[in-house]
């Protein structure tokens, strides 16, 4: 029986760039981290499910981010506590 020759032309082309699918690939470059604002600090906030759902709905209705809503609410609260 004669052996068949298999050619790998084009299959091992390492000079071609992969198609950017928007999905991070293992071993690929990490996406750029968002730039912190001057003096920015971070915290984690735990919410019950109903409150989180209300926040999500409000964010969608007002086209604001969770961050913007919570920052405004906290600033308002702290301003009222200072007076």
Instruction: Identify the pLDDT of residue 15.
Output: 67
Count structural domains, the chain.
Answer: 1
> Looking at the domain assignment, is residue 69 inside a domain?
yes
- Whether the pLDDT of residue 68 is over 80: the answer is yes
Question: What is the domain range of residue 55?
Answer: 49-82
> Looking at the domain assignment, is residue 16 inside a domain?
no
The span from the CA of 57 to the CA of 54, in Å, is 5
The span from the CA of 69 to the CA of 28, in Å, is 34
Single pTM value for the model: 0.56
> Looking at the domain assignment, is residue 18 inside a domain?
no
> Looking at the domain assignment, is residue 14 inside a domain?
no
pLDDT digits (tens, 9 = 90+) for 19-64: 676 766 676 666 677 777 888 888 999 999 999 999 999 999 999 9
> Looking at the domain assignment, is residue 68 inside a domain?
yes
- Whether the pLDDT of residue 74 is over 70: the answer is yes
> Looking at the domain assignment, is residue 24 inside a domain?
no
């Amino acid at each position: 029986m004669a052996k068949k020759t298999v050619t790998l032309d084009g299959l091992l082309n390492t000079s071609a760039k992969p198609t950017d699918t928007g999905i991070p690939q293992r071993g690929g470059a990490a996406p750029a981290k968002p730039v912190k604002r001057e003096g920015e600090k971070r915290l984690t906030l735990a919410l019950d499910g109903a409150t989180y759902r209300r926040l999500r709905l409000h964010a969608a209705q007002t086209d604001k981010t969770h961050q913007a809503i919570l920052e405004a609410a906290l600033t308002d609260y702290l301003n009222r506590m200072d007076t």
